[in-house]
Structure 1
Amino acid sequence: MTSETELRDPELARPETERETETDFDEDDRLRPDFVRAVLDAVEAGDFEEARARVESLHPADIADLIELTPAEDRAALASAIADRIDGDVLAEMNDWVRDALVDALEPRQIADIAAELDTDDAVAIIEDLDADDQREVLRALDPDDRAAIEEALSYPEESAGRLMQRELIAVPEHWTVGDVLDYLRADDQLTTDFWEVFVVDPSHRPVGTCELSWILRTPRVVSVTDVMKREQTLIPVDMDQEEVALRFQKYALISAAVVDGGGRLVGMITVDDIVHIISQEAGEDALLLSGAGDGDINEPIRDSYKARVRWLIANLVTASIPATIVYLFEGTIAQMAVLAALMPIVAGVGGNAGTQTLAVTVRALATNQLTQSNTIRAIRREIAIALLNGLSVAAAVGIAIAAAGSALPDLGGGTLPLVIAAAMLTNILIAGLAGVLVPVTLERFGQDPAVASSVFVTMVTDSMGFLAFLGLATVSGLVG
């Protein structure tokens, strides 16, 4: 049976073995290094005809991959050699940093021609990052209808449904019959061809329902669309954040959804292919934000990567001074029993890992709306229970290990040290579990991205409390002094 994807893309419909042979893919569907090298060698030798012949059968996404795999200093030459294959579809599939560099090298008229070929959302993705002067020149070079649609999209906030949506959709009045819809679709060759459902609107252009294409094709012509349409639908506000849009698609298993303005009027639609990209992008973004690595893109300029990472390293330097101060306050304790200096990183390190585990779970739960105000207390209780079980297990293990070592090495402090380090370990893991929930939840409540700075604060808490618990218990227990 031929799938919907194969129908849209004849390249994918061909046998896999033939496709890999012709386009030099490896077993993981990636361009082989020798294929990339052969294309670049042809470009370097000035044999542009050979280079074009090699990429002729490539899918636009694979041409984008080829350009991304090419060293930055060779991309301009490659783009010039295969210019006839670099169209809007290729740019839409390309890494943002690589695409921006290529677009910067094009004339405004060329960018306008490419943008005119694309859906509005893809055209906006290319134009929105241009300098203000270049952006105005490109917009002036567009047809009035395309220019108006893109200018409207650019008026919405970044990463909102308004930027993500496409204006090309099918909307019909509610008084039409199925026959009217079919005649309309067949008569107007300017209509979009990429859609899964028809939106039904009232005289004010507010969506009142949707009709799937399968319903329209299987229903007699005389039946009114209001008799076959689905009235329940998920409407996306035009200013909704793209992450929330993705969650709605995931929650309600949507293929496409109508986007409405403040007055409830239909202004666009969002399709699942855009959402797949958003889900991947947001997931990667959160992981990178937790580490303070900025965009984390290997194509990002070194200067931008440096600026994104160094500020968090400096912030970490500041927060690291707090546990260092605690250690300094117990200088006398450490001086009397040097083995404490060797053991205290174990307490802080295990606590830090426990905090990171809880933090990762909490940030994900917040991002997917699993954790809300209504179940925050329950989530905190759950993580404390897990931390208690983990703490007891790890505390028992480390206590037994130190006790066993102490029987052979009396300098380890006899029977008191195992109890001290076990109690400190339990205390720090409990605190780590609490901090792993409370820090991201607090940031989220104050309107901040919980993935941005949570790891820095959780690490500070686990290091500080680990040192304080261990050295403090060692002091008050009579282990030293």
Structure 2
Amino acid sequence: MTETVDAAPASSPLADDDMFDPAFVDAIIEGLDEEDAAHVQELVEPLHPANIADLFELLDSDRRRRLAAALGPRLDGDVLAEMNDWVRDDLIDALAPHEVADLATQLDTDDAVAIIEDLEAEEQRAVLRAMPADDRAAIEAALSYPEESAGRLMQRELIAVPEHWTVGQIIDYLRENPELTTDFWEVFVVDPGHRPVGALKLSWILRTPRWVPVADAMQREQTLIPVDMDQEEVALRFQKYALISAAVVDSSGRLVGMITVDDVVHIIQEEAGEDITRLSGAGDGDINRPFLETVKTRQTWLIVNLGTALLASGVVSLFQDTISRLVALAVLMPIVASMGGNAGTQTMAVAVRALATNQLTQSNTIRTITRELRIAIANGFTLGVLIGLGVYIIYREPELSGVIAAAMVINNLIAGLSGILVPLTLDRLKVDPAVSSAVFVTMMTDIMGFFSFLGLATLVGLPG
């Protein structure tokens, strides 16, 4: 669970934008280079765990490990839970299995799983062996669920009470059991089979007389999260129903955990960032990702783009004679392809977002496609008139102006169609549209941009 961030003191090394003062970072680096652990600890002492995690991200790999050694007990589970995934993996590689186990046991199940799930199989087994039996069993159970599912995301620490209790019994139960979790917003009510039948917000418990039965005070309608639900769908439910927390149930309807809004905020941030960077073929876009992995990811899509560029150049080569007789065509044809690419990217971005947020479904697919076609035609005619007038002013060739205007309309129509149909098709094929759409949309707009412009020029006999 994420801690509440206290207001920074007057001497805080953080500026108003919550960024570190460069002089403070330089002081940390100097202390590490001089192996002055006491000074480093003194500098870091007032920082919140999330800020300490940020500090690790600002250092190179060697200094991260020296900072970890200098911090000692100050490097706890809360710091590790707030840390960037790549930075955390790099740091954990330098820790012994029992040290990782000690850190993981300080955390709620969901945060502990986030630390352990990315370890190599042998390291994972070693860390689990070093953990207490109860913690190990909870984490192994969570790891049995699919990645990025509610089962991985949920925490098992929650408060559940029977329906036959009174509000006073709940209050006494919470006060008399110090080992219960302290971070929760509602109490779940379960039947004898441990299936959730309702929930009580903490505010209701505090304001309801002790003698009132739980059955009369609880809210029976609640949003239940299946344990195998994808984390992106979980985030959408939290957003749609304005949830603070939600019960997670297994296939038999039994309560197995809960998800809280702080975890969902991380999901929303993560998914939004991934969609943006994947559209460009840059992987997850994390600047802390290892060099070779980053190069491999980017090169893969650049090579694919190279192939689509060769296809587009092949189309151009079909009209070499036409281009050689009217050089203006070579000057103008990139404009048609470029504008089509921009229009296709706009439509594609809207479609990918609509699919991710469940705004675009089978029920409104036809209406959405029709809408995007109308937008494409309107934009195409506007751009066609503008480019046609510009070309006429420069070249004084009405036929050339008409050809480029018509090509602009055609390519914008193709851009609108490909921008909506490519993500839809990939989504129906169970392929993430954020990963592959850009390549196919760009290929379509480039090829059709060149083909429509040069093909129309040849058809009307401009060079003649």
Deviating more after overlay: 450-459 vs 24-33:
24-33
Could you tell me how far apart the structure 1 residues matched to 2:288 and 2:393 are? 52
Matched, 1:406 2:395: yes
Shift in Å, 1:140: 1.2
Shift in Å, 1:335: 1.2
Could you tell me how far apart the structure 2 residues matched to 1:107 and 1:123 are? 16
Is the contact between residue 61 and residue 90 of structure 2 (CA under 8 Å) also seen in structure 1?
no
Amino acid at match of 2:190: V
Matched, 1:267 2:267: no
Could you tell me how far apart the structure 2 residues matched to 1:141 and 1:301 are? 28
Shift in Å, 1:130: 1.2
Q: Name the structure 1 match of 2:72.
A: 83
Q: Name the structure 1 match of 2:427.
A: 444
Q: Name the structure 2 match of 1:411.
A: none
Q: Name the structure 2 match of 1:410.
A: none
Shift in Å, 1:480: 2.0
Runs of 4+ aligned residues of structure 1 deviating over 2 Å after TM superposition are none
Which consecutive residues of structure 2, in runs of 5 or more, have no partner in the other structure? none
SS at 2:363 equivalent = helix
SS at 1:373 equivalent = coil
Q: Percent identity, please.
A: 64
Amino acid at match of 1:249: F
Could you tell me how far apart the structure 2 residues matched to 1:403 and 1:133 are? 70
Is the contact between residue 380 and residue 412 of structure 2 (CA under 8 Å) also seen in structure 1?
yes
TM-score normalised by length of structure 2: 0.98
Is the contact between residue 417 and residue 474 of structure 1 (CA under 8 Å) also seen in structure 2?
yes
SS at 2:79 equivalent = helix
Q: Name the structure 2 match of 1:215.
A: 204
Shift in Å, 1:144: 1.0
Q: Name the structure 2 match of 1:191.
A: 180
SS at 2:146 equivalent = coil
Could you tell me how far apart the structure 2 residues matched to 1:39 and 1:90 are? 17
Shift in Å, 1:84: 2.1
Q: Name the structure 1 match of 2:411.
A: 428
Q: Name the structure 2 match of 1:308.
A: 297
Matched, 1:477 2:460: yes
Deviations, residues 24-79 of structure 1 (Å, cap 9, x unaligned): 11121111111011011112122211110111010000001111111223211111
SS at 2:189 equivalent = strand
Matched, 1:231 2:214: no
Deviating more after overlay: 248-257 vs 26-35:
26-35
Amino acid at match of 1:457: F
Q: 2:347 aligns with which of 344, 358, 365?
A: 358
Matched, 1:335 2:324: yes
1:235-314 alignment to 2 at 5 Å?
A: 235-314=224-303
Is the contact between residue 286 and residue 451 of structure 1 (CA under 8 Å) also seen in structure 2?
yes
TM-score normalised by length of structure 1: 0.95
Is the contact between residue 23 and residue 55 of structure 1 (CA under 8 Å) also seen in structure 2?
no
Shift in Å, 1:158: 0.4
Could you tell me how far apart the structure 2 residues matched to 1:72 and 1:105 are? 10
Is the contact between residue 177 and residue 223 of structure 1 (CA under 8 Å) also seen in structure 2?
yes
Is the contact between residue 380 and residue 434 of structure 1 (CA under 8 Å) also seen in structure 2?
yes
Could you tell me how far apart the structure 1 residues matched to 2:60 and 2:100 are? 23
CA RMSD of superposed structures (Å): 1.1
Is the contact between residue 22 and residue 57 of structure 1 (CA under 8 Å) also seen in structure 2?
no
Shift in Å, 1:235: 0.4
Amino acid at match of 2:235: A
Shift in Å, 1:433: 0.6
Amino acid at match of 2:414: I
SS at 1:200 equivalent = strand
Is the contact between residue 55 and residue 63 of structure 1 (CA under 8 Å) also seen in structure 2?
yes
Q: Name the structure 1 match of 2:375.
A: 386
Matched, 1:134 2:117: no
Which consecutive residues of structure 1, in runs of 5 or more, have no partner in the other structure? 408-413
